[in-house]
Amino acid sequence: MKNNLLVAGIFNIIVGCLWLFASFEASTAAFVIGAFVLVAGIMNIIYSKLEPEKLYEKRNIILIWGILLLPFSLISAIILLVDCDKIKSEYAKYLREQDVKVLDENNQNVKVSKETKKLDILLKIGIAMVSVSGIMIATTSWELMTDFVKLIMIALIGVLFLGLSIFSDKKLKIRGTTITYWILSMIAFSISIFMLGFYQMLGDWFAFNGNGECFFIATLMTCISAFSYITYKKFDMESFMYFSYFGMVSAIILVAAGITKIDWDIDEVYIGLISRSIVLALTCLLCAIFVKNKKANYITLSIVIPIVLLSLIFEVNVVVALYVGIIALAMIIFGFIKKEYKAIFVEGIVFLILNVVIQLWEFWGVLPVWVYLLVGGLSLIGIVTVKELSKSKENKPE
């Protein structure tokens, strides 16, 4: 198994170098692909040196590498996808040598017959052949097809992979294969939705380069988020949970951006504040109602709120200054009360200071030095006082 990862890594490095050489005469896209495949090759070689337990922990990452490499380095992608199935059995063998009983997710012994493995390998070879034929069609006859036929073809590929995923789950009982086909089907369905906007099949407005572009991309991100969430619930893959949440947050931000593009009879400053308030409100609502994982809440809020404030803070305006100041103070109070949200507490302090500095930039050279010293000293005294009061309350006997 480790030798296969090493072979895949070396092959990816060779293919990556070829892509990089091609980029000198081709385009920037070839350079990006080459760099990506080269990095994948290096990571494969690193994984080949890992112990069985560490490699078992990385199996989902190897699966994702295999899927992403399919269009650019087909042979190594197939090696990685086949190896994903072997990692679990190798890990089970490793544990059996230490007299440890290995159970699958349903607490049942995992046994995959040789016949099933052969069928699985044949299935993957068949999929590889279908993928190659698809690439050949795309490079020779794609331009001759109508937009609707292109959409139908991609959607049918999604249905094919979905059917294979169900077949693998019900008959072969091989988790890695099931996940691979499932993710490929979700990618195909996402591309189908993308094509609706790219070819303007739903009208000029609700499409790319149309006035409703932001709303269409928000719809696309919502669908991707839904696919990711279903994958997370179905296969218990935590990484897809984060894809789902950030997809929803991206959709919320895009809706807010779309609102700002509509021609309203209101000052642009107020439209900007309203749209950002919608982003913050919906993000907090998403975290409070749907996101049950505290870590995901923490990461989502500590990224989204600073992005929203950064989009406003450099505009010198009294209303904007009050808006940013209130949110920054709310962040400080929230972070102070909820000890586990330390990053939000620090971000609140940073944005409060930045807000004061930027909004009063013109006055910094006018005010005497003692004013700055007074404000800084009082701030430090206030922080120390609050800390001491909180400590005395914690230590006070009941």
- Residue in the block written with tokens 């996940």: 179
Classify 143 as helix, strand or coil: helix
Residues 6 or more apart whose Cβ sits within 8 Å of residue 172 = 112, 116, 119, 120, 123, 178
- The mean predicted confidence, pLDDT, of the chain is 76
**pLDDT confidence band for 102 (50 / 70 / 90):** very low
What pLDDT was estimated at residue 173?
A: 78
What pLDDT was estimated at residue 299?
A: 73
% the chain with pLDDT above 70: 77
d(CA 262, CA 273): 14
On whether the CB atoms of residues 328 and 356 are closer than 8 A, the answer is: no
Say how far residue 193 (Cα) sits from the centre of its chain. 18
Tens-digit pLDDT profile for residues 8-67 = 888 888 887 777 666 555 556 676 777 778 878 877 777 877 777 777 777 777 877 777
* Domain ranges (residues) in the chain: 1-102, 367-398
Q: Is 194 a residue whose pLDDT tops 70?
A: yes
Say how far residue 79 (Cα) sits from the centre of its chain. 25
DSSP string, 260-302: HHS--SS-HHHHHHHHHHHHHHHHHHIIIII---HHHHHHHHH
- Pull the structure tokens for residue 344: 């939000």
CA angle 356, 360, 362 (to 5 degrees): 155
What pLDDT was estimated at residue 119?
A: 66
Nearest to 253 by CA among 306, 321, 329, 191: 306
CA angle 264, 268, 274 (to 5 degrees): 80
Tens-digit pLDDT profile for residues 356-386 = 888 777 766 666 767 767 777 887 787 777 7
- Residue in the block written with tokens 């992979």: 161
Q: Report which secondary-structure segment, H or E, holds 22.
A: helix 2-23
CA angle 391, 393, 398 (to 5 degrees): 135
Side chain identity, residue 19:
W
Q: What are phi and psi of 203, to 5 degrees?
A: 110, 165
**pLDDT confidence band for 100 (50 / 70 / 90):** very low
Tens-digit pLDDT profile for residues 203-239 = 888 888 888 888 898 899 899 888 888 988 888 877 7
What pLDDT was estimated at residue 60?
A: 75
- Pull the structure tokens for residue 247: 């997809």
% the chain with pLDDT above 90: 1
What pLDDT was estimated at residue 269?
A: 77
Highest mean pLDDT among 70-74, 93-97, 140-144, 333-337: 333-337
**pLDDT confidence band for 99 (50 / 70 / 90):** low
Phi/psi region, residue 317 (left: phi>0; alpha: psi -120 to 50; beta: rest), is: beta
Say how far residue 114 (Cα) sits from the centre of its chain. 36
d(CA 371, CA 364): 10
Nearest to 349 by CA among 371, 361, 333, 372: 333
**pLDDT confidence band for 132 (50 / 70 / 90):** low
d(CA 32, CA 368): 53
d(CA 360, CA 232): 47
Q: At what angle do helices 74-96 and 114-140 cross, to 10 degrees?
A: 160
